[in-house]
Amino acid sequence: AESIETRGFEAEVARLLHLMVHSVYSEKEIFLRELISNASDACDKLRYAALTEPALTADDPNFRVEISLAKDARTLTIADNGIGMSKDELIANLGTIARSGTSAFVEQLSGDAASDVSLIGRFGVGFYSVFMVAEAVEVVSRRAGSDEAWSWESDGAGTYRLKPATRAGRGTTVTLRLREGEDEFLDAWRLKRIVKTYSDHIALPVILKAEADEAQTDGEQKEDETLNSASALWTRPKSEITAEQYAEFYRHAGHAADEPWATIHWKAEGTIEYTGLLFIPGTRPFDLFDPKRESRLKLYVRRVFITDSCEALLPGYLRFVKGIVDSADLPLNISREMLQESPLTAKIRSGLVKKILSELEKRAGDDGFKTFWDAFGPVLKEGLYEDFERREQILKLARFKTTKSGDETVTLAEYAARMRPNQTALYFITGDAATVARSPQLEAFKARDIEVLLLSDPIDDFWTGTGLDWEGKPFQSVTRGDIDLSQIPAAEDERKGEDAPEGAIASLIAAAKLALGEAVKDVRVSKRLTDSPVCLVAAAGDMDMHLARLMRAARG
């Protein structure tokens, strides 16, 4: 008994567990999906480790997940022969929150049970979801290559216990003692349905074990049965994969909880062969603006999982894309570092970028494109700044708010078609979304019926300064330098009353210069205003005002 160690959960985990324990979330069955998903990940990790250390799997080369149930004891057990966890890993993985998605989930918890519960569906909260159905959970795990096994046990109320255990081979066994009222999860038929629904795409067999009771009754599992298709989803013909199966695969591979907005599944043949199964999410994930800007695409080589952190596979501006790439042409024993540098990776990357952009082009006319653009447009626009080869292509996809668009957005082609006669540039203003449309800088443009692009994403200040043009016409900030609008007649003459006499203006300017001193470079008469008396502008060679403000804010 001395060897039992009791530890407290990290405070955030404790909050999460409290929510799980008291959950009234209606789709509690997803706990099984989460456990099978973890088992599959654990097998993937070991398969990779065994590439360099074959002894790890030599004694038991067939990866699988086994589900067994004991009605009398009211327990449900999910066992895998994956990589397993050491004692330290049990503490780190099941006692703290490692994943940014989960910590974002906890940040959003309001303490109001009803709204918190609806968040579960939006996040997918992994292992801890077992506490929606179990009054106690034991995890026994043995790390591949180690003789030691450890038991982790908890009822979800603040603490967990660790003690040495025994396990016949490597892997992890999760045993749930089901709560009163959760008997449906002891029903073989029900379990089969759940596995079919959520885990059919899992690439290793998920086996329901025969029940061990002596006297067998009706409805009891009499033989071991493999419940899923047990082949990698992306290797199956497209015609045999349902939208639901694709969506479940997306949630598993992308650690997502929503529906994919786009599913792109293809086989590339040519100088390099690979299969891609990519997804564009239906909603913006919580870590989209993580400063690391990393893609989490999963890379497989001949169905062996290699890594989900190969940045070189996708440019930062497409980091929202989820899914897998499986190539037969990359060497299996390639190190993750070498992958980053490999010309083959660069080839795959350019193939993926091409495929993703062409899918976006295909759907750019759809009503649903707005969903995509609202969620990921600000990220995709980073490509205007970063990817010189593709920036024209990206610019065609881009949508903009303008002084005339109202709640809608327009493409640059639409903007260009509405340009006024003699208009020589695409005019834009950058600034805060809430106020930019009210800027006094826009008055002269309104008076001449010239449409101005309203740019309010931080990246807009960068790409607009790169000399990019639209069909030969430059982008021109309305806040910079002198803009000559004299060739474009005012829509109607807005000027009211008489012009002030020359002398009065000269002395007003002199007085303003005196009062403002060093704070401004110059004070001038402007033709850009119609209603407001004054506005600030940047000199032609200076940094755009909004950008200057952003830079000052960033410097702190």
Which range binds Mg ion by CB under 5 A, 122-130, 293-301, 314-322, 480-488?
A: 122-130
3-state DSSP of 216-255: CCCCCCCCCEECCCCCCHHHCCHHHCCHHHHHHHHHHHCC
Nearer to ligand ADP, 336 or 362 (CB): 336
Which range binds Mg ion by CB under 5 A, 93-101, 126-134, 278-286, 335-343?
A: 126-134
**Pairing relationship of beta strands 75-80 and 171-178 according to DSSP bridges:** antiparallel
Shortest Å distance, C-beta 31 to ligand ADP? 10
Shortest Å distance, C-beta 89 to ligand ADP? 7
Query: Under rule CB under 6 A, which residues in 120-149 are in contact with ligand ADP?
Result: 126-127
Residue, CB closest to Mg ion = 126
Identify what 99 binds: ligand ADP, Mg ion, none; CB under 5 to 8 Å per kind: ligand ADP
Asked if residue 177 lies in contact with residue 75, where contact means CB atoms within 8 angstroms, the answer is yes
Check residue 40 for interaction with ligand ADP (CB under 6 A): no
Q: What are phi and psi of 79, to 5 degrees?
A: -125, 140
Query: Under rule CB under 6 A, which residues in 80-99 are in contact with ligand ADP?
Result: 80, 82-85, 93-94, 99
Identify what 172 binds: ligand ADP, Mg ion, none; CB under 5 to 8 Å per kind: ligand ADP
Q: Which residues are annotated as a binding site for ATP?
A: 34, 38, 80, 85, 93, 100-101, 172, 336
Enumerate residues 6+ apart whose C-beta is below 8 A from 435. Answer: none
Nearer to ligand ADP, 34 or 326 (CB): 34
Asked if residue 186 lies in contact with residue 74, where contact means CB atoms within 8 angstroms, the answer is yes
Residue of 16, 17, 32, 39 that binds ligand ADP (CB under 6 A): 39
For the chain, state the CA radius of gyration. Answer: 30
Which range binds ligand ADP by CB under 6 A, 78-86, 208-216, 376-384, 442-450?
A: 78-86
Structure-block tokens of residue 322? 């989820």
Check residue 38 for interaction with Mg ion (CB under 5 A): yes
Which range binds Mg ion by CB under 5 A, 7-15, 120-128, 334-342, 520-528?
A: 120-128
Asked if residue 487 lies in contact with residue 422, where contact means CB atoms within 8 angstroms, the answer is yes
Nearer to Mg ion, 34 or 182 (CB): 34
Residue of 18, 30, 34, 202 that binds ligand ADP (CB under 6 A): 34
**CA-CA-CA-CA torsion sign (330, 331, 336, 339):** negative
Asked if residue 160 lies in contact with residue 31, where contact means CB atoms within 8 angstroms, the answer is no
Shortest Å distance, C-beta 85 to ligand ADP? 5
Q: Which residues are annotated as a binding site?
A: 34, 38, 80, 85, 93, 100-101, 172, 336
Check residue 79 for interaction with ligand ADP (CB under 6 A): no
Which range binds Mg ion by CB under 5 A, 32-40, 139-147, 181-189, 426-434?
A: 32-40
Which range binds Mg ion by CB under 5 A, 1-9, 92-100, 118-126, 418-426?
A: 118-126
Q: DSSP assignment, residue 319?
A: T
Rounded-to-integer distance, Cα 361 and Cα 153, Å: 51
Enumerate residues 6+ apart whose C-beta is below 8 A from 54. Answer: none
Shortest Å distance, C-beta 86 to ligand ADP? 10
Rounded-to-integer distance, Cα 96 and Cα 10, Å: 5
Enumerate residues 6+ apart whose C-beta is below 8 A from 544. Answer: 430, 461, 464, 465, 477, 479, 480, 538
Residue of 81, 154, 172, 441 that binds ligand ADP (CB under 6 A): 172
Q: Is 296 helix (H, G, I), strand (E, B) or coil?
A: coil
Asked if residue 139 lies in contact with residue 161, where contact means CB atoms within 8 angstroms, the answer is no
Tell me the CB-side half-sphere exposure of residue 266, using CA atoms within 13 A: 14
Shortest Å distance, C-beta 126 to ligand ADP? 2
Nearer to Mg ion, 42 or 278 (CB): 42
Check residue 544 for interaction with ligand ADP (CB under 6 A): no
Q: How many residues bind ligand ADP (CB under 6 A)?
A: 17
Nearer to Mg ion, 41 or 66 (CB): 41
Check residue 126 for interaction with Mg ion (CB under 5 A): yes
Q: DSSP assignment, residue 126?
A: G
Q: Is 93 helix (H, G, I), strand (E, B) or coil?
A: helix
Rounded-to-integer distance, Cα 25 and Cα 41, Å: 25
Shortest Å distance, C-beta 4 to Mg ion? 27
Nearer to ligand ADP, 137 or 264 (CB): 137
3-state DSSP of 154-223: ECCCCEEEEEEECCCCCEEEEEEEECCCCHHHHCHHHHHHHHHHHHCCCCCCEEECCCCCCCCCCCCCCC
Identify what 93 binds: Mg ion, ligand ADP, none; CB under 5 to 8 Å per kind: ligand ADP
Query: Under rule CB under 6 A, which residues in 198-257 are in contact with ligand ADP?
Result: 255
Residue, CB closest to ligand ADP = 126
- Binding positions for Mg ion, rule: CB under 5 A: 37-38, 126
- Binding positions for ligand ADP, rule: CB under 6 A: 34, 38-39, 41-42, 80, 82-85, 93-94, 99, 126-127, 172, 255
